[in-house]
Amino acid sequence: MKTIQAYRFALDLTCVQERVVLAHAGAARVAHNWALAKVKAVMDQRTAERSYGVPDEQLTPPLPWSLAGLRKAWNTAKPDVAPWWSDVSKEAFNTGLDALARGLKNWADSRKGTRAGRPLGFPRFKSRRRATPSVRFTTGAIRVEPDRMHVVLPRLGRLKLHESARKLGRRLDNGTARIMSVTVRRAGGRWHVSFTVEVERAERTPTRPQSVVGVDVGIKHLAVLSTGELVDNPRHQVAAQQRLRALGRALSRKTGPDRRTGRRPSKRWERAAARLGRAHARVANLRRDSLHKLTTRLAREQGTVVVEDLNVTGMLANRRLAWHIADAGFAEIRRQLAYKTSWNGGRLLIADRWYPSSKTCSGCGTVRAKLALHERKYQCQACGLVIDRDHNASLNLAALAAEYDTAGSGPVAARGADQKTRVRGQVAVKREPGTAPAGQTGTVPPQGRTTNRVLTKAH
């Protein structure tokens, strides 16, 4: 199975190497800003000409927004715009132009309604002080040295790694990986190199291929499994809050930048900002590590994992819980499970956003009309079951897998596009109208409105 995978390693750059990398990142920013200014000038010129009644065929020719068109315009103007262009790799300019081309395309698709998600704004100019230094290489001499502690990149030469690249090196030696691009980026006060690799992964089978586990994520416990296991929430942000506050107060006492007056920050402000950035980066790394350990274990052991389609953006509107929700990383858990289950031969099922997993009794299927957030114990008025609400939700999620398999082998009872509570037994599989259920081929006639479904398969 071929898949695209990334390998990221920390770098230990010398002062000279850091200046060279910063020069390449600056060249990418210059090309991006020049092309963006050119695009805006042409757009404004065409708008002004239309206001004067100039026919469309006589308007100023538009500047192509594709990468090829922007690169052609840049190659024509770079001797005057950047006479130092030969001092850096051509890939540096390509990095900035590619970012602008993708930004323009996303903005245009968002305006036309062909891009999902929130509306995107028009690309902005990149600032030397606020933009993240980054440069990407797609051609040239790119390799991992035999000692696994150095990499070679075009025009940057031999760079020392802070950690061994033996995993990537073994794949390259065995011919099961092909480097597609390399990105050098500074984040959290450190430089990192990321390899985007096409990997030939071996077929795997989970440890328990027939097992099903429902995962209910939360704040008190990061995840509650249908097996009864409680995964503690590390709350890395809460643990580091005292230090973050101290560093933030220390930063506020320094002379910082002022865009209104053009005042530049002091050296002490820059050092304090770097300390605060490293502290935040440490919290992010700890959170990423704990989430990877949890999702890797679930994907390797369980054959089927069932999670909810949570409206994380809407949950963040609760100002009392937004901080804790963002610290837990609900969306990241689902994102990692999506590709890790595919890598390990399992499957990920996603319950519909309106499925009442917490309101439904896992014993008899009775659905409560309301369930307040402070009620941590679920009490069923029909059968008398008393159970932790999160464990109850995880059991209901695990039970959906059996209903999904049953629905996939026969007719499907569709549910309308309302937000009413589903009654047990009215299960539906999320699929496009006119397509066959899971495990079958061909087409079937659409059955009712199919906007909202109870369950969908991620792969």
Q: Which of 308, 352, 375, 388 is catalytic?
A: 308
Antiparallel, parallel or unpaired: β 347-351 and 302-308: parallel
Q: Report the distance separating Cα 456 and Cα 424, nearest Å.
A: 17
Whole-number Cα distances in Å, 181 to 142, 156, 166, 257, 312: 9, 15, 18, 36, 32
216 included as an active-site residue: yes
Chain centroid, CA 12 distance in Å: 26
Q: In this structure, how many other beta carbons lie within 10 angstroms of the beta carbon of residue 272?
A: 21
User: Kindly report the CA angle at 24 between 22 and 26, in degrees rounded to 5?
Assistant: 70
Q: Report the distance separating Cα 32 and Cα 457, nearest Å.
A: 40
390 included as an active-site residue: yes
Q: Which of 91, 98, 216, 327 is catalytic?
A: 216
Q: Which of 390, 403, 405, 432 is catalytic?
A: 390
Whether 159 contacts 145, CB under 8 Å: no
Q: Report the distance separating Cα 433 and Cα 451, nearest Å.
A: 9
Q: Report the distance separating Cα 109 and Cα 119, nearest Å.
A: 9
Contacts 24+ apart (CB under 8 A), 424-433: 424/360, 424/365, 424/367, 425/365, 426/454, 427/400, 427/403, 427/454, 427/455, 428/453, 428/454, 428/455, 429/404, 429/453, 429/454, 429/455, 429/456, 429/457, 430/352, 430/454, 430/455, 430/456, 431/456
Active site residues: 216, 308, 390
